[in-house]
Amino acid sequence: MQVRELTTERRNRATKNLDRMSSLELVTIMNREDARVPRAIARVLPELAQAVDLVAERLGQGGRLIYVGSGTSGRIGALDASECPPTFGVSAKMVQFVIAGGKKALLTAVENSEDSVVMGRKDMAARRPGKRDVVVGLAASGYTPYTISALQYARSKGAATIAIAFNRNSPMGKVADLRIETGVGPEVLAGSSRLKAGTAEKMICNMLTTCAMTRLGYVYSNLMANLNLTNKKLLQRGMTILQELTGVDREQAAAILEKAGRSVPLALVMLKAGTSKTESVRRLRMAKGNVRKAIEG
């Protein structure tokens, strides 16, 4: 593989005079190039929908979503994984990340780690992937040895695998059950895949978890009905959610939240279904946390 042949490594003709541009010209050209990202993602929406269904199915079976990547890609996976518990009220074990170089790489570049096939397999093996899990490989180039070997190991153990890359027919795509490969074009700064490719990865990860969690019922209407009320702002948001969905006033919302142990989904079922706390807990358990199903009985 010749790196210079990859779309993600090519020079962008529109930015060859980058170092001569004014600040306004710089931000204008970056904004123009960034606008290509959502258009590129639109071309792979059918594949993304398949990925959402796959993630929702495995999580619904009690499995896990495990992101794996190196550098920027690994950090984006880590970011999305870390946001799921506070947003959807799920266990931190449900959505996980594996990054080349370990947690140290979240703060400091550990560039040589991405070349290690052995570490990719070892780090993934430590998570003990199985038939209920889905592993998502993130690599802008699609050629990262660490991520490819991690995906191969996960697939050999029965986990479903998804490859997200920005070069067509990538080696990573070839070892995955489902590939999502879209071209965002050469970067403004040649080879700096933290730019458009990184933005695209973030957008795709947003879709995977938000849509899968919505399918699983951790969202009611378009509100975060399952969020954890861990600070004053979130407590206020929880009360607002109850007001929006049930029509109670602020004091009633606060009172029912306290009765429900500050559990928004439990309070919501109690109010919408008109059931006792005990019955509402039972409904949520039977519905596996799906708020709408619990309300509808």
Kindly state the helix (H) or strand (E) to which residue 123 belongs, with its residue range.
Answer: helix 117-125
Catalytic residue, chosen from 114, 181, 187, 201, is 114
Burial of 215 (0-12, 13-18, 19+ CB in 10 A): middle
Strand 134-138 and strand 160-165: pairing?
A: parallel
Q: Is 83 a catalytic residue?
A: yes
Q: Are 110 and 104 in contact (CB under 8 A)?
A: yes
**CA pair distance 158, 161, nearest whole angstrom:** 9
**Helix (H) or strand (E) run with residue 69 in it:** strand 65-69
How many angstroms separate the CA atoms of 8 and 139, rounded? 11
Residue of 47, 83, 244, 279 marked active site: 83
Q: Which residues are catalytic?
A: 83, 114
